[in-house]
Copies of this chain bind each other. A is one copy, B any other.
Amino acid sequence: MVIGMCEGCQKSEVARVISALRQRGLEPRIISAGSNVVLGVVEEMSQGLAQELSQEIGALPAVEEINHFGSSWKLASRNFRAETTAIKLGRRTVGDGEVVVMAGPCAVESREAYLDLARKLAPLGAGVLRGGAFKPRTSPYSFRGLGEEGLRIMAEAREITGLPIITEVLRASDVELVARYADVLQIGTRNMQNFALLEAVGDTDKPVMLKRGMMATIKELLLSAEYILARGNWQVILCERGVRTFEPETRNTLDISAVPLLKQHTHLPVLVDPSHAAGKRELVPALARAAVAAGADALMIEVHADPENALSDGRQSLTPAAFAEVMAELSALAGAMGRSLGMAA
Contacts and interface: CB of A to CB of B under 8 A. Distances in A.
A137 B295 CA distance: 31
Residue in A43, A73, A260 whose Cβ sees the most chain B Cβ within 10 Å: A260
Contact of A141 (B42, B250, B293, B332): B42
A137 to B, nearest CB: 8
Contact of A44 (B142, B257, B295): B142
Contacts of A74: 141
Interface in A254-282: 254-257, 259-261, 263-264, 277-278, 282
Contacts of A336: 332-333, 335-336
A254 B243 CA distance: 12
B244 A141 contact: no
B243 A247 contact: yes
A257 to B, nearest CB: 5
A291 B142 CA distance: 34
Interface stretch (A7-15, A59-67, A187-195): A187-195
Contact of A253 (B245, B248, B264, B291): B245
A203 interface: no
Given A172-B171, A260-B287, A277-B257, A249 B138 contact: no
Instruction: Kindly report how many copies of this chain are found in the complex they form together.
Output: 4
Interface in A75-114: none
**Which of A227, A278, A289 is packed against the most chain B CB atoms within 10 Å?**
A289
Contact of A193 (B138, B329, B333): B138
Contact of A170 (B196, B289, B290): B196
A136 B142 CA distance: 29
A223 B140 contact: yes
A131 to B, nearest CB: 19
A249 B282 contact: no
Contacts of A171: 172, 195-196
Interface in A286-335: 286-287, 289-295, 329, 332-333, 335
A158 to B, nearest CB: 26
Interface in A207-239: 213-220, 223-224, 226-227, 230
Interface in A152-171: 170-171
A72 interface: yes
Contacts of A295: 286, 289
A287 B264 CA distance: 14
A246 B249 contact: no
A139 interface: yes
A311 to B, nearest CB: 12
Contacts of A177: none
A43 B170 CA distance: 22
Interface of A: 42-44, 72-74, 136-142, 170-173, 190-191, 193-197, 213-220, 223-224, 226-227, 230, 243-250, 253-257, 259-261, 263-264, 277-278, 282-283, 285-287, 289-295, 329, 332-333, 335-337
